[in-house]
Chain A
């Protein structure tokens, strides 16, 4: 029934010439006043949508409607009315929704950036109410993200699945190891960092993560290590700040970690004692790290007193030398801090 229309097939026969459609009265699109920005439709599209308007008028919900809506969606995946009607028809016909999901795998790859493709999947999952299917979907998302690691819709869909089914035993446990894999491949993947924040801090407390102090220690260690590999990676620094803000941990608790990243050249290896808690910048890292300078200035600013002038010195160096595109921002920070100090 969900016999897929093969869009690579030869000339699509028009519905107007198809005996199977003889019982449907096609309805042309209304164009009363001269339209603005009209779209120059193809014959095939015009024919299909004429029959779709005809179907909507009579309210017919039959297997051939599934073929028609699929055909339209393949030509115009943003046609939300076709999506809506297709979903209602699937439900009305009691169609096997898992088969629909499989058909959608192909759609998602082809129309990765179309919202409707993902919305339809959510509706299907909501109707299926099966953790088995949710597990399958997480695997599908994992595969899809391999081709486009930062696709917003795909990530949102994954977060929705996790929150919607919220299955402690079968859905959540794989998330952290998977995020770690992604960051292993690309430590600058901000979507992966964001997902880590969602999993660890925003989605409730996992069974084996009840000791939040321990979780905080783990996250700080993880992030510091990633920063040591790429000291200018803004995504990791933003995550670090996010964790500290979320747990109300003072930035100053990381002073000894941050300091080596704020100097021009890596310090002499002879006087560097290996400190597992505070990994040093990796060899060849570009220093000083701008996010580290900014972080240190924030520590100084929070100290107040003499700290303010130390912070101002850093901000000046950012404004005039290291980060001139944000000159006005750093000057704004200076003004703000000096004003606040009075």
Chain B
């Protein structure tokens, strides 16, 4: 199959490197979630195996230092803020109400630091557990910020992934969160962002990953949190989302979008049926989403961004096609944390408190 396209590894690495060096003002919205964007860039290079060759140790040290500057402590506990966009010159001893840590940023900060092979000696573990407690709400959900803001399945997933990385579940009420997740289940088989909302690929990943991540409690275990009928319905909906383009859509009736190749495909993997993805059709779709100057876009002939670049590569790592040549070789992915297996091992060896 000599006609099978190639994965433009060099182009994707340089797309990420360019973003790490700076973003134009037109991207100013990213400031409020900058750690996540940095994670996508580092994560993509980690999957491609280009991080150590294409960045210097001096850079990586500077980046680690920058990340630790985003760890911040105060009345709600400790976590990471998205960037210094609200931090005044001179810094804060304690964060103000408008410069507080963010749950999703805390999750992506730990992943990024692990990619950079930090030893986590600066991690305030008890502070993070306290922060998670401050984020959980009465209905079991988590808000991204302790004093309000968006509360949905994404934050629930991040709290669960963090607890799992820390190997300490004392920061969350698992049973309450599990019943919240179950309330987000839609008749179609996917999960909405919050209860009663339309089934969506990204939040379905968050829901299912969280259900499987949490340890057994007196009320539920990973095996019983979905009934066989629910599991079958979810698998049906997920596979239905692979469209004739080869890519996955995030909702019934929508067009395929590269990021949903990860969210839907990864959920199938968690459910033990990742092999149901047509991986060759998927690779063909991704090949078309590649931008001519590097990076991967959400759909053919769109502009690339780190988010779609990372998630596309992550999905290709989970569902490699046998047709692809060595340009498609990527590091194996840990589907629960959304990070390479090697970095996941680093996390297991360095993040849990009892190992510190």
Contact A326 B187 (CB under 8 A): no
| CB of A155 closer than 8 Å to a CB of B | yes
CB within 8 Å for A326 and B239 given contacts A29-B85, A155-B198: yes
Q: Which of B37, B85, B99, B237 contacts A49, CB < 8 Å?
A: B85
Q: How far is the CA of A327 from the CA of B275 in the complex (A)?
A: 11
Q: Which of B25, B149, B243, B246 contacts A80, CB < 8 Å?
A: B149
Q: How far is the CA of A28 from the CA of B275 in the complex (A)?
A: 52
Shortest Cβ distance from A118 into B: residue: B150
- Please indicate the chain B residues that have their CB under 8 angstroms from the CB of A42 in the complex: 25
| B280 vs chain A, min Cβ distance (A) | 10
| A264 vs chain B, min Cβ distance (A) | 20
| CB of A222 closer than 8 Å to a CB of B | no
Q: Which of B22, B99, B246 contacts A38, CB < 8 Å?
A: B22
Q: Which of A30, A198, A246 contacts B88, CB < 8 Å?
A: A30
- Please indicate the chain A residues that have their CB under 8 angstroms from the CB of B186 in the complex: 194, 197
Q: Which of B62, B188, B229, B239 contacts A33, CB < 8 Å?
A: B62
- Please indicate the chain A residues that have their CB under 8 angstroms from the CB of B193 in the complex: 152, 156
Contact B89 A41 (CB under 8 A): no
| A294 vs chain B, min Cβ distance (A) | 9
| CB of A241 closer than 8 Å to a CB of B | yes
Size class of B's contact patch?
35 or more
| A341 vs chain B, min Cβ distance (A) | 16
Q: How far is the CA of A76 from the CA of B31 in the complex (A)?
A: 9
Contact B28 A76 (CB under 8 A): yes
| B134 vs chain A, min Cβ distance (A) | 16
| CB of B69 closer than 8 Å to a CB of A | yes
**Binary contact readout A171-199 vs B (1 if CB under 8 angstroms, 0 otherwise):** 00000000000000000111100100110
- Please indicate the chain B residues that have their CB under 8 angstroms from the CB of A39 in the complex: 22-25, 27-28, 30-31, 34
Q: Which of A41, A163, A191 contacts B198, CB < 8 Å?
A: A191
Q: Please, how many residues of chain A have a CB less than 8 angstroms from a CB on the other chain?
A: 65
Shortest Cβ distance from B193 into A: residue: A156
Q: Which of A37, A38, A40, A327 contacts B41, CB < 8 Å?
A: A37
| A29 vs chain B, min Cβ distance (A) | 6
Shortest Cβ distance from B254 into A: residue: A150
Q: Which of A30, A53, A75 contacts B28, CB < 8 Å?
A: A75
| CB of A79 closer than 8 Å to a CB of B | yes
Q: Which of A45, A49, A115, A235 contacts B25, CB < 8 Å?
A: A45
Number of A-B contacts (CB under 8 A): 177
Q: How far is the CA of A150 from the CA of B254 in the complex (A)?
A: 9
Contact B98 A36 (CB under 8 A): no
Contact B149 A119 (CB under 8 A): yes
**Binary contact readout A41-84 vs B (1 if CB under 8 angstroms, 0 otherwise):** 11001000100011011000000000000000001111111001
| CB of B141 closer than 8 Å to a CB of A | no
Contact B20 A37 (CB under 8 A): yes
- Please indicate the chain B residues that have their CB under 8 angstroms from the CB of A198 in the complex: 196
Q: How far is the CA of A236 from the CA of B43 in the complex (A)?
A: 39
CB within 8 Å for A29 and B88 given contacts A37-B38, A56-B96, A81-B99: yes
Contact B273 A190 (CB under 8 A): no
| CB of A255 closer than 8 Å to a CB of B | no
Contact B66 A81 (CB under 8 A): no
Q: Which of A76, A159, A189, A234 contacts B197, CB < 8 Å?
A: A159
**Binary contact readout B172-199 vs A (1 if CB under 8 angstroms, 0 otherwise):** 0000000000000011100001101111
Q: How far is the CA of A39 from the CA of B37 in the complex (A)?
A: 12
| CB of A5 closer than 8 Å to a CB of B | no
- Please indicate the chain B residues that have their CB under 8 angstroms from the CB of A191 in the complex: 198, 251
Q: How far is the CA of A32 from the CA of B244 in the complex (A)?
A: 50
CB within 8 Å for A33 and B28 given contacts A81-B99, A152-B200: no
| A124 vs chain B, min Cβ distance (A) | 14
| CB of A214 closer than 8 Å to a CB of B | no
Q: How far is the CA of A168 from the CA of B275 in the complex (A)?
A: 48
Contact A202 B22 (CB under 8 A): no
Q: How far is the CA of A279 from the CA of B145 in the complex (A)?
A: 52
| CB of A245 closer than 8 Å to a CB of B | yes
| A266 vs chain B, min Cβ distance (A) | 24
Shortest Cβ distance from B194 into A: residue: A156
Query: Which B residues form the contact surface with A (CB < 8 A)?
Result: 19-25, 27-34, 37-38, 41, 62-63, 65-66, 69, 83-91, 96-99, 145, 148-150, 186-188, 193-194, 196-200, 229, 233, 235-237, 239-240, 242-244, 246, 251-254, 273, 275-278, 281
**Cβ contacts A to B, 21 pairs, < 8 Å:** A30-B84, A32-B91, A34-B66, A35-B83, A37-B19, A37-B22, A37-B23, A40-B22, A40-B25, A76-B32, A79-B85, A152-B197, A152-B198, A156-B197, A203-B196, A238-B237, A242-B187, A245-B229, A246-B187, A326-B239, A328-B277
> What 16 new A-B contacts, CB under 8 Å, besides A29-B84, A234-B252?
A29-B85, A30-B84, A32-B69, A35-B66, A53-B86, A77-B29, A84-B149, A152-B200, A156-B197, A159-B197, A188-B253, A190-B198, A194-B199, A202-B196, A242-B188, A326-B278
The 8 closest A-B pairs by CB, nearest first: A242-B187, A27-B88, A78-B29, A30-B87, A81-B98, A194-B198, A190-B253, A190-B252
